[in-house]
Structure 1
């Protein structure tokens, strides 16, 4: 018997806010299948406020509320069974972050969890990577956001360790990342990858997805370090306006794509990786998977209590 359930994930990042609606297809004696149904992205750059002024501006706070009202309606239209909304780096550091969370709950009816870097890395690592990861190889998973980057190391098909660093595209644009921040990330990656052989990178985030698409590389095929480095030099040679007019990048992508590429290149250099796989999954996908299994587990526990 086939059963289709709908779940939604809201990812409130430092560069944008996303709503992902996904179908979970359940069949008896088979693993559930997760299929994206709808993705809505709103370019509200919270990090621009927070990393400079420490607070989310009144204008962006109102834009957030309006976006959440819209997301609430879209989830109702899709017939979503359950949702989870997670806020990351910018909301974590905003002095008025909790106040805005309460306003959104009151005005839009959406509950938001402000998660720490460790929890963010855990959720991202829960994404389904079986189509990418080979058990005999090692991988450094790199999820680049506006305010932070999450690193997860997979060895023998399992998570070895993970860590979140305050190195993100919006922070880099505003030149508020210190040399110590870079050194800490470098030391962590080198220490945890020094004994790993045949290591490859897995890149996650809108910027690496765009770079993969721009390369013309077939879906499932990795980017090379050489290509990524050449593309980095090419992007730097163009002005912001040229990246929009000649490459067709969105205005809120045309600036952050350069610091994002810098972070991926640094991770390759420090780990020795020369291939970058781009499976097009991230925090929102991890939220869907986490939500589905938690909902199913709670339902099973409730059923067991009732039957008892």
Structure 2
């Protein structure tokens, strides 16, 4: 079986095509093709509450291209989800209709809790140590999803309108930060020794830059040092000297700030970075739907 996942985020739009592998009783998937297009829908959505005609056009073209790839790869099933930017855009549903007409693809605008559930359906916590407590932090362009796992089970989960594009556009609100702090502090103080699990493109990049060996957690001190190092460069130098992609070089700083802040609130000393994201969760959701 071959499945496709489309994630329309606030910073980038992604297509993952994956091959489903069955071995004994276990079902897993192998990534076949990943395409990422940095459309930055969040800039429009958070500042003007709608997607501009130009960006809407670019999104429709991208979805036509994705539809063609899904066709050529002979994909058995797919799922397309749009998150924070499309949730907030007044013309979000109109764009969903345009995408359906132009590409034939059905697109679902998911609410924050469903987004969190999809991300966590990749069951990362099961691969680490389910006797431990984990704070799962997923940072996107428009929102941050936080969940607490204990004894391998999700205890509590919430989505907050704090994200990298939102911060860059000065659209993050103090009361949302306070709400997130309250949620983190209240829910982690009853657990001892909470470890972090971080997902999202920025933490994946930070982990690569840290040169930690695969599977080893990233300490809060090392993450802080990385943040200070990156922040000491101008945006231009982060692109030209450090070699970061232009659409990564700016968002990586606020992303780092979110991870560090949440870790500090929860007294988390280190964070595991399993290199998965929304698209992996979508594939896992498709596997569960079709099994």
Q: Which category of TM-score, normalised to the shorter sequence, fits these structures?
A: over 0.9
> Which region of structure 1 is more displaced relative to structure 2, 284-293 or 79-88?
284-293
**Pair member with larger Rg:** 1
- The TM-score, its normalising length taken from structure 1, stands at 0.93
Query: For residues 112-155 of structure 1, what are the alpha-carbon distances to aligned partners after superposition, in whole Å with 9 as ceiling and x for unaligned?
Result: 00000010011111113156431221001111000000001110
Matched, 1:111 2:98: no
Q: Which of residues 40, 47, 72 in structure 2 aligns to 1:52?
A: 47
**Any residues of structure 2 matched to 1:288-307 within 5 Å, and which?**
288-296=283-291
Q: Which of residues 137, 143, 147 in structure 2 aligns to 1:152?
A: 147
Matched, 1:6 2:21: no
Q: Please name the residue that 1:183 is paired with.
A: 178
State the shift of 1:286 in Å.
Answer: 0.8
Q: Please name the residue that 1:121 is paired with.
A: 116
Matched, 1:88 2:83: yes
Q: Is contact 2:139-2:255 (8 Å) kept?
A: yes
CA distance in 1, matches of 2:272, 2:99: 37
Q: Which runs of 5+ in 1 are unaligned?
A: 297-308
CA spacing shift, 1:186–1:237, aligned 2, 3 Å: same
State the shift of 1:295 in Å.
Answer: 2.1
- The TM-score, its normalising length taken from structure 2, stands at 0.98
Q: Please name the residue that 1:304 is paired with.
A: none
CA spacing shift, 1:131–1:38, aligned 2, 3 Å: farther
CA distance in 1, matches of 2:128, 2:156: 16
CA distance in 1, matches of 2:57, 2:83: 18
Q: Please name the residue that 1:251 is paired with.
A: 246
State the shift of 1:293 in Å.
Answer: 1.3
Q: Which runs of 5+ in 2 are unaligned?
A: none
CA distance in 1, matches of 2:213, 2:205: 13
**Any residues of structure 2 matched to 1:109-258 within 5 Å, and which?**
109-130=104-125, 132-258=127-253
Aligned alpha-carbon RMSD (Å): 1.0
Q: Is contact 2:133-2:195 (8 Å) kept?
A: yes
Q: Which of residues 16, 22, 25 in structure 2 aligns to 1:20?
A: 16
Moved over 2 A (4+): 130-133
Matched, 1:272 2:255: no
| Secondary structure of residue in 2 paired with 1:289 | helix
CA distance in 2, matches of 1:131, 1:161: 16
Q: Is contact 2:126-2:152 (8 Å) kept?
A: no
CA distance in 2, matches of 1:245, 1:131: 39
Aligned residue pairs: how many? 291
| Secondary structure of residue in 1 paired with 2:75 | coil
**Any residues of structure 2 matched to 1:64-79 within 5 Å, and which?**
64-79=59-74
